[in-house]
Structure 1
Amino acid sequence: MTDKKPRVLLLFGGRSSEHSVSCVTAAGVMKSIDKDRFDIVPVGITRQGQWTLLEEDPQDWALNTGKLPEITDVSHPVQLASDPSRTSLLSLTDSGVTDLGTIDVVFPLLHGPFGEDGSLQGMLEMVGVSYVGSGIAASAIGMDKHFMKVAFEGAGFKVGPYEVITNKQWLRDSEAALARCERLQYPLFVKPTRAGSSVGITKVDSPSELRAAIEVARAEDPKVIVEQGIIGREIECGVLEGRGSDQTRASFPGEVAVADSGHTFYDFEAKYVDGTASKLSCPADLSEEATQEIRELAVKAFDSLDGEGLSRVDFFYTPEGDWIINEINTMPGFTPSSMYPQMWAKTGIEYRELIDELIGLALDRKIGLR
């Protein structure tokens, strides 16, 4: 054991439509991470995929007066590179390449495609550096709402009725694709299959609205999922990997209520912009038996995908007392006010301690097959 502090690369931004959400998340982590325990290196990814070294200033990336932050400065391009003994951050300039030192662990605060979907995780495995969160397969399955449902059905979970429309199916015969959705009961929720933060989602109340909603979703992802609305409460649970061979941990469940009549569901504005639009209740108002059941189901969902690090698992709790799984988020919103950190704070792990634990889990885990 040395006195050297682990060097943590905070990676944020990215090529997805959740670029700004990622920046806001990074601001929260920068402000709260324990500087006595970790050295941090902020690296941003532009919407075009360029990596750039940034200043360590949380205010640059905070959500100020409703303006969404964006990474545009590419004056300090960098990349990761490895040799048999370490992974380094390299500065790339016209005058040459400069080694900026070893990176011990990457904290990828990226949401959506090209960050949360296994693509980044594969790159980090290739350069041999530890990282926070799930590996390639769990990240990829957790990002795709179609394959996620298939995996959860295989693990014995109840899922709601749905139809998937691929790009080729839509281009070949959109009428046939629409006809398949006729078996579903309205209202429907039309979603990009591989996106998050409620981007591109439309609530549809009649068949006349369906085609337009699909086109909105297709603007984010050519593969679309159409889900039947579920009558039930939306209950969520945070999951945290156990150390070593310890059991996976689950937070107290939380429930989000949309308080503003201007939001018909928990959309992007309600989540990130309108601070008065929603309210979190944690622990959720459930019986002791139901609380225990959802915590066990959340752990089962995480473990069924070989999840690592953290996840948030979302369920519908029906009036009949059934739990219907909605989705898993392998890199959930992670600002101090996001659901995941709030649920863990109510369970006894505060934000800074949660950051410490996630980095510790990553450093303990080996790279490669495990």
Structure 2
Amino acid sequence: MDKLVRITTVPLSLDKLLEGQMGFMKTRGMDVAMVSSDGPRREAIAAREGCPYYVVSMTRVISPVRDLVSVWRMVRLFRSLRPDIVHTHTPKAGLVGMMAAWWCRVPVRMHTVAGLPLMESTGMRRRLLVLVEKITYGFSSGVYPNSYRLLQYISDQRFCRPGKLKVIASGSSNGIDAHYFSRTPELEARAEEVRKTYGIPGDAFVFVFIGRIVRDKGIQELVAACKPLKAHLLLVGPFEDDLDPVDDACREEIERNPSIHVTGYQQDVRPFLVAADVLAFPSYREGFPNVPLQAGCLGLPSIVSDINGCNEIVEEGINGLVVPAKDTNALRRALERMIDEPGLRDRCAKNARDRITGRYGREVVWDALHREYQEQKRRAHAL
């Protein structure tokens, strides 16, 4: 039985980004363990996936001494577990996990890349982040960008040799559960309660954003673009004050504008999507984002930035609109079009679900990943 270890920096990534995947691999006969720093929902995730969960503390910032301590603790864990495959996600988990797996001579060392913070960095910080990526990729046996545009970027930047790079299926880290993200009468009723809770009239036009409320998610542009519009904005996610927070003016506008509603983190985002008319997702950088997949599955048109992943999910005028990142005026025009052109909005809504389920269904992605595990293990044994 193949022993697989899946690693993320924090439990939230295992919870939301890889939900169900570990349990699926277990049904395929793999012995699966999960690893991350400690945090909320760790026990619930272990129960849901039916797999053991180990804690190795990792920081989300670069800290050489603490990172080396994390590597050593991961080495000790691997010596106990003796995995055949180590598969990491998120930058710090990738650095720590790939170094430790190489040190322990784990034959298959796979790292998934789901967005690169260095894309929005400059100067010394960018050089340091590039170095971290190159080290991570160097210790891996395979690197898996979760979109084709991201693969091209990594290849163009020469972060690793092209032979190591591969996209699983059509992209996405986990695919989409099309059955779960389906409109039902019960979900429609919960969406009505969302509107009532936040004082949104039944006939009001609503945009929704889902994610961390930080600068590089395009929140400042979104808030500025929505300000003159006769529409409500649901911001579904937490403020993050330590890493890349929005500026004071944006925070003040969010807090004082009666048409902007902050819900905080939500375990189930479906009622908030159904409560809205259009998803607005103007992020600066992504790997392959889950939110446009979820919105599309629920029949919601999307306005997204012309960046990796987003521009593979959304096609201009077919299931949404694509705008340049960081362009408030272009974003405002797209928001206005969705309000003023019901024919465009209805056409995009009608096309949204079929475009997602046919390419990014969860089982499609999981089956492709399982095949890749077996292929990589065969290659490792052939060496």
TM-score category (smaller protein): 0.3 to 0.5
Q: Greater RCO between the two (CA within 8 Å, min separation 6)?
A: 1
Higher helix share: 2
**TM-score, normalised by the number of residues in structure 1:** 0.37
**TM-score, normalised by the number of residues in structure 2:** 0.36
Higher strand share: 1
